[in-house]
Amino acid sequence: MRGLLVRFALKFNPMKLVRIGVINIGDELLLGQVIDSNSARIGQFLAPLGLNVHRKWCVGDDAEEIKYALTEAARTEEIILITGGLGPTRDDVTKKVLAEYFGVGMVFSEENYAHLRNLLEPRNVPIREVHRQQCFMPANARLLENKMGTAMGMWMEHEGKIYIAMPGVPYEMDYIMIHGVLPGLKAKSYSSNMYHQTMHVGGMGETEIAAVIEPLLNKLPEYISLAYLPALGTVRVRLTGNHENAALLKQQIDDYLNQMSASLGEKVFGFGDSSLEKALGAMLLEKGLKLGTAESCTGGNIAHKITSVPGSSAYFMGGVISYTNAVKKTMLNVKDQTLENHGAVSEQTVREMVTGCCEALNVDLAIAVSGIAGPDGGTDELPVGTIFIAAGNADGILTRKLTLGKDRSRNIETASIYALLLAREWILSPK
């Protein structure tokens, strides 16, 4: 028996993961003035290499706090990615702190100075002393090109660990990650056979999903883990594994997700980097359907989501923001009697908004929304968060009533997501 266990372990031994830490620097991040999108982007960039972020820190523009984060990261991580604090202003202290941390001096970089001149002189921007000061780097830094801005990235190695500093501006960081960091990590053979795939489910909560796929979860090998990532109206189900046999791992994860998808049926709307709006667009193209929107409380957010997909002009004809009853009547032919008897926030009204939108825009399918987004304006009968949605055409309309909270932004986003889900449901429903 022991021999069998040993052979099993040798065959299925997962590979050792490379630990990667991220340090984001900037008072604006702690104050909430800027959202940390860099961490997410870094994770997305690393995933194709089979790498993932192990831990992250967020600190302000304070030398001692940055040193603390560096010390903590060095205890557990092999690669430390740093963003922020490389600019020319007084609050940009990252380079000086790194030099002190490594015990090296600061040296003037002619390479960075030439970069600055090539970037600024064609724009007739005078090079000032503050720009020149920006060209001082830790002595152990190898520069990484940044064609998007003045601050170049820095690659440093210290006591067997890699430290990479990049600007905090997202599009500048993106450039350095793509053109400098990822090729550098590949060259050093920092990669693993980690593989993950995601399945997108709409209209079900994670507990409902778990109840359906539970029999399959019991069959997952120990080197494959499952995670539920819930969002408004949708859940991402992700399988992640790490194994010496990359082909086997990919096949297993894809097979398990396909089995889960078969169990969940039409609730699954995509895999990988898909989105609800992409999935809906693909269905419209496949069916040859034209779509229009009639929005009240969502104020055009549904149309925005639809048109965020490249190529959406092939199926999306336009939208009407009928924020007032007057527009509902004149542009969507909602009847006076309907508004008087049932009100603007009602199932009857969104039904007529659907048919009116189909006529006005000459589309096969329309989405309509009307409700009380908040934070005030509700009544005892129709409290804040009451929203009616509809999808269909004159031949058939599906409707839903949402009872949400008092957060206006959340209500608008939730209603938009459920409206797209309802349109998808209408397409899939028997006619």
The pLDDT of residue 362 is: 98
Q: Quick check: 259 pLDDT over 70?
A: yes
Give mean pLDDT, residues 232-245: 92
Q: Which residue type is seen at 274?
A: S
pLDDT bin (cut points 50, 70, 90) of residue 191 is low
Task: Convert the pLDDT of each residue in 135-160 to its tens digit.
Answer: 999 999 999 999 999 999 999 999 99
d(CA 370, CA 289): 23
Give mean pLDDT, residues 59-84: 96
Higher pLDDT: 6 or 333? It is 333
Higher pLDDT: 16 or 156? It is 156
Higher pLDDT: 338 or 133? It is 338
Range from 33-37, 120-124, 351-355 that averages highest in pLDDT: 351-355
Name which of 77, 76, 57 is nearest 67 in CA terms: 57
Q: How many CA atoms lie within 13 A of 313 on its CB side?
A: 2
Give mean pLDDT, residues 46-59: 90
Residue with tokens 């990484």: 144
Task: Convert the pLDDT of each residue in 375-427 to its tens digit.
Answer: 999 999 999 999 999 999 999 999 999 999 999 999 999 999 999 999 999 99
Assign 285 to helix, strand or coil.
helix
The pLDDT of residue 133 is: 87
**Mean pLDDT of all residues belonging to the chain:** 92
- Give me the domains of the chain, ranges plus CATH numbers: 15-187 (3.40.980.10), 194-271 (3.30.70.2860), 276-428 (3.90.950.20)
Residues 6+ apart with CB under 8 A from 200: 234, 235, 236, 237, 268, 269, 270, 271, 274, 275, 276, 279
Task: Convert the pLDDT of each residue in 153-186 to its tens digit.
Answer: 999 999 999 999 999 999 999 999 999 999 999 8
d(CA 266, CA 280): 12
d(CA 26, CA 66): 10
Distances (CA, A) of 279 to 231, 289, 323: 16, 14, 28
Alpha helical stretches, state H, 231-291:
246-264, 276-287
Q: Take residue 146 and report the two structure tokens written for it.
A: 């940044």
Alpha helical stretches, state H, 121-267:
129-133, 170-176, 182-187, 206-217, 246-264
Q: Which residue type is seen at 177?
A: M
Cα torsion at 181, 186, 191, 193 (round to 10°)?
130
Sign of the Cα pseudo-torsion (32, 82, 69, 37, in order): positive
Q: Quick check: 353 pLDDT over 80?
A: yes
Enter the pTM of the model.
Answer: 0.78
Task: Convert the pLDDT of each residue in 281-316 to its tens digit.
Answer: 999 999 999 999 999 999 999 999 999 999 999 999
Angle at 75 between CA 185 and CA 140, to 5 degrees: 50
Instruction: Confirm if 322 and 353 have CB atoms less than 8 A apart.
Output: yes
Helix (H) / strand (E) element for 59: namely strand 53-59
Instruction: Beginning with the edge strand found earlier in the chain, give each strand of the sheet holding 53-59 in spatial order.
Output: 53-59, 20-25, 79-83, 161-166, 153-158, 142-144
Name which of 190, 196, 192, 151 is nearest 170 in CA terms: 151
d(CA 332, CA 357): 6
Q: Quick check: 52 pLDDT over 90?
A: no
Give mean pLDDT, residues 426-430: 95
Instruction: Confirm if 107 and 95 have CB atoms less than 8 A apart.
Output: no
Q: Take residue 327 and report the two structure tokens written for it.
A: 């527009």
pLDDT bin (cut points 50, 70, 90) of residue 48 is confident
The pLDDT of residue 64 is: 96
Q: Take residue 384 and report the two structure tokens written for it.
A: 């804040």
Greatest distance between any 2 Cα atoms in the chain: 82
pLDDT bin (cut points 50, 70, 90) of residue 190 is confident
Q: Please count the residues of the chain.
A: 431
